[in-house]
Amino acid sequence: MKDNSLSRLGGICSILLGISYILVAVIYVVMPAEQQDAAGIAPGAFLESLAQNPTLYIVGGLVFALGSLMGIAAVQAISESLRSVNQGWVRWTSTLAILGFAVNSIDSFRRMALDPARATAYVKGDAAIKAALTVPGALPALDPNAWLRLGAVGLWVLVVCLLALRSGTWPRPLAYLGIAVTIVYWLIVASNYLQIQLFTAIIAGVGLVILAPIWYIWLGLRLRKAT
């Protein structure tokens, strides 16, 4: 008897991953402007705001971290459904995608723990402490330009979508939507690298709030239905 537990688990996690994108976007909108990454606010203003009200920042980070952990199971299940088409490409790129989601989760948990503590130290510290805590790169991300968090995940999405098109495993609109998600991921990486914050915000708003959730939820429902 075929074991469908991976498809069931991966389907649920893929749906939850898509929902997490939407929840993070909602939290971002209602979060104080000083705590929004793309707000262009000075580090001191960010830390002062975070010290006063860290709740939404922590909740958003938690949703992001847990969603990324859901992504690992989603990658495994989605990849398994296409492994027979081209095992080499699927196994390699799925490993990269798992690494990307893992880095995303670790970085989110790390920021949830360290940023509020840094904010408290800032508001209580003297001028020297304030200067040290706001120096550029005082608490850099593990993957600042998102080469792994989005670039590697995007490569996996592209590969599984092309394989699905070649084999006819998925509906063509689902595969083409995934290719669009890949383009969005890579555009965000490029705009991060070029430091074009406004472009990053626009692309992320369209891709991570609309396209990516639809793709992951759609795939999750297919995986659940297949069981």
CA distances from 135 to 98, 110, 139 (A): 32, 19, 9
Backbone φ and ψ of 178, nearest 5°: -60, -40
Per-residue confidence (pLDDT) for residue 39, from 0 to 100? 46
DSSP letters along the chain, please? Answer: ----HHHHHHHHHHHHHHHHHHHHHHHHHHS-GGG-GGG---HHHHHHHHHH--HHHHHHHHHHHHHHHHHHHHHHHHHHTTTTT-HHHHHHHHHHHHHHHHHHHHHHHHHHHHHHHHHHHHHHS-HHHHHHHTSTTSS--SSTT-IIIIIIHHHHHHHHHHHHHHHT-S-HHHHHHHHHHHHHHHHHHHHHHHT-HHHHHHHHHHIIIIIHHHHHHHHHHHHHHH-
Which residue is it, tokens 């537990």?
Answer: 5
How would residue 204 be classed by pLDDT, with cut points 50, 70 and 90? confident
CA atoms 203, 209, 214, 220: torsion sign: positive
Which residue is it, tokens 């088409």?
Answer: 85
Residue 40 pLDDT more than 80? no
Q: What is the mean pLDDT of residues 124-152?
A: 86
Residue 24 pLDDT more than 80? yes
Among residues 141, 142, 145, 143, which one has the least CA distance to residue 194?
Answer: 145
Residue 21 pLDDT more than 90? yes
How would residue 194 be classed by pLDDT, with cut points 50, 70 and 90? confident
Instruction: State the Cα–Cα distance between residues 161 and 12, nearest whole angstrom.
Output: 20
Instruction: State the Cα–Cα distance between residues 55 and 115, nearest whole angstrom.
Output: 12
Among residues 165, 158, 180, 7, which one has the least CA distance to residue 78?
Answer: 7
Per-residue confidence (pLDDT) for residue 42, from 0 to 100? 78
Q: What is the mean pLDDT of residues 17-43?
A: 85
Residue 37 pLDDT more than 70? no
Tell me the pLDDT tens digit for each residue of 56-106: 999 999 999 999 999 999 999 999 999 999 999 999 999 999 999 999 999
Among residues 174, 196, 175, which one has the least CA distance to residue 187?
Answer: 196
- 10 Å CB burial of residue 125 (0-12, 13-18, 19+) is middle
